[in-house]
Amino acid sequence: MNESYVLPLVDISKMQSTELSERLEVASALDQACKDVGFLYLKGDQFNFDFATSLIQVAKRYFQQDTASKMQHYIGLSKNHSGYVPIGEEQFAGNSYDLKEAYDINYDYHGETTAFPLLGPTLWPDDATFKSTVSDYYHHLRSISEQIFQAFALALNVDEHFFDCKITHPTSQLRLIHYPYNPEVKDAEGIGAHTDYECFTLLLPTAPGLQVLNKQGEWMDIPLIENTLVMNIGDMMEILSNGKYLATKHRVKKVSEERYSFPLFCACNYDTIIEPVHSTEAPKYQPLIGGEHLFNQTAQTFSYLKKRIASGELSLRNAVPLSSFGMDENTEVQGANA
């Protein structure tokens, strides 16, 4: 089933209020939308969509280059999983690949050297405008994500600043994704069905194509709404909420038109222990290290990392299979999470 489905819309403007009652109002709306669906639209006075307009323009210019130029900054050359991702690099299931290319931007950490594979300087193309424009968008959305983390803390009945010390150097990644124009698309999906690994995602799409698996096990088309971002719950927030919120499976269906998509995957610091917080129920999830889970999942989908695992150069610790969170197409959610 591919019916159109309008998600809940949450206005986060009042997260800037000095009144706790107004911030709690936002937290309550966010809580309800995440319990009911796990996907929602966000709007708010915080958002400056001029940053988005500039980002789209610079991404279009970047992806118009020939493949050889883009491959000079291939993600496999980076030290912290950043750079250009060619078509076919990622595989979510089997031997199929996603019909897309991307440029991945990390936190661009220049602090003390760590052993964390996702934390370090971003591999940037030789383009100052690209770097400044993308960085501006990243930092704009990251500042808004800090308010959203505070809203989640209120929704989960912990101190409003519970996450503050856990997101000082986060493994939050911004992806610039390009789905090339292809009028004869037949066998390749834009992106195969998956959950996001982090806490939550803030997505800016330029065209339709996104589909969400609802709690009746049906795939629903998600229309665009101007001056909003799409937000969804990821694996780590499912754990933090002790299953109150489910990581929601989604995919990009086969589309012939050119499409761009810009998700910011909002995560905690690499070494943050992700475990249920302030639940009246017994923990339903084992604790995990946030960055380790993110890297493990990433290493199971990217070709260059799979090759390093196969050669013995890289080994994963405490890895769980892909799609270990959320619900399957054959499972209708019932009970408290319905």
**pLDDT (0 to 100) of residue 91:** 77
Section 77-86 average pLDDT: 94
CATH superfamily of 9-337: B-lactam Antibiotic, Isopenicillin N Synthase; Chain (2.60.120.330)
**What confidence score (pLDDT) does residue 305 get?**
92
Q: Is 8 exposed, middle or buried (0-12, 13-18, 19+ CB in 10 A)?
A: middle
**Contact present, 169 and 225 (Cβ < 8 Å):** no
Q: DSSP letter string over 230-283?
A: EEEE-HHHHHHTTTSS-PPPEEE---SS-EEEEEEEE--BTT-EE---S-SSPP
pLDDT of 301 strictly over 60: yes
pLDDT in tens, 146-163: 999 999 999 999 999 999
pLDDT in tens, 95-144: 556 678 999 999 999 988 888 889 999 999 999 999 999 999 999 999 99
The CA distance from 157 to 205, in Å, is 32
pLDDT for res 92: 66
- Could you tell me what percent of the chain has a pLDDT over 90? 64
Residue 170: what pLDDT?
Answer: 95
| Higher pLDDT among residues 315 and 253, named by residue | 315
Domain boundaries, the chain: 9-337
Half-sphere exposure of 219 (CA within 13 A, CB side): 14
Task: Report the alpha-carbon angle 205-211-212, nearest 5.
Answer: 115
pLDDT reported for residue 331: 44
What lies within 8 Å, CB to CB, of 183 at 6+ separation is 256
State residue 189's pLDDT score. 47
Q: What angle do CA 253, 258, 260 make, to 5 degrees?
A: 80
pLDDT of residue 338: 24
Tell me how far the alpha carbon of residue 62 is from its chain's centroid.
Answer: 21
Q: How many CA atoms lie within 13 A of 334 on its CB side?
A: 3
* Neighbouring residues of 9: CB distance < 8 A, sequence distance ≥ 6: 40, 41, 42, 43, 225, 228
Q: What is the pLDDT of residue 208?
A: 86
Average pLDDT, the chain: 88
Q: Is 40 helix (H, G, I), strand (E, B) or coil?
A: strand
The tokens describing 30, both together, are: 């966010």
**Residues paired with residue 105 on neighbouring β-strands, in sequence order:** 174
Q: What pLDDT is attached to residue 1? A: 45
Comparing CA positions, the residue from 12, 176, 49 lying closest to residue 105 is 176
Listing DSSP states for 66-110 in one string gives -HHHHGGGBGGG-SSS-EEE-TTSB-SSTT---S-EEEEE-----
pLDDT at 323 exceeding the cut of 70: no
Model pTM score: 0.91
For 222-239, write each residue's pLDDT tens digit. 999 999 999 999 999 999
